[in-house]
Amino acid sequence: MATDDSPTTDPPAKIDGTSEDGSRDTDATNSKSETGGKDEVKTETEDTHTHTHNRETDEPQAPGPPLSEQELAALHEVELGLEWIQRAQGYLLEFHHATGHGIDHIDEAETHLRTAGHDDLAAAIRRDLLPHGVVDDDRWSYDVLEDFQATLLAETVALERRVRDELADGERHVAERRQEREWKYLADEER
């Protein structure tokens, strides 16, 4: 029970499950919150999940499901991996569009060369360059993009969803939400 009726903000659990002084509470204990005197209960389950909650509200200190340090780190790395793969798709889209624009200019040059009477140069563009793929004779930029989307991107999306579903009940950005809560708490403490 709080000894002070003033409103307080309970400190968030750190992402790595340690207290402010770096120690880890491995037994179920009752302790007074240093920031407001509210009773808190910290428990660590057999599979190293740490939960901190306020007895009065029974609300968790850290948003999201209880995760071990390794689970939280793995979830975060998979989410970041997917984001980088999505960025790679963006680069491939940029590559596809840039290639298309470049080829459009070459096509326009063919018309000008033909009009100017340089049929051999215009024929070389039409015969050799325009039908040529970007990777080899046959693979155009859209083909590379579609293969990427159908393989690596699709498989990474599926893996990220599976990891999120199994570790975090489908929640996204769990590590970031915890960091946001901690930073907001620390900002409130500075006021």
pLDDT band at 64 (very low <50, low <70, confident <90, very high): low
pLDDT at 135 exceeding the cut of 70 = yes
Instruction: List, in order, residues 6 or more apart from 62 with CB less than 8 Å away.
Output: 12, 13, 15, 52, 178, 181
pLDDT digits (tens, 9 = 90+) for 66-106: 889 999 999 999 999 999 999 999 999 999 999 999 999 99
pLDDT of 84 reads 98
pTM: 0.61
Higher-scoring residue by pLDDT: 16, 117: 117
- The more confident residue out of 190 and 162 is 162
pLDDT score of 6 more than 90: no
Mean pLDDT of the chain: 76
Given this model, what pLDDT does residue 66 score? 86
- Domains of the chain, by residue range, sit at 1-64, 69-170
pLDDT band (50, 70, 90) for residue 56: very low
Phi, psi of 20 (to 5 degrees): -55, -35
Higher per-residue pLDDT: 117 or 31: 117
> What confidence score (pLDDT) does residue 13 get?
42
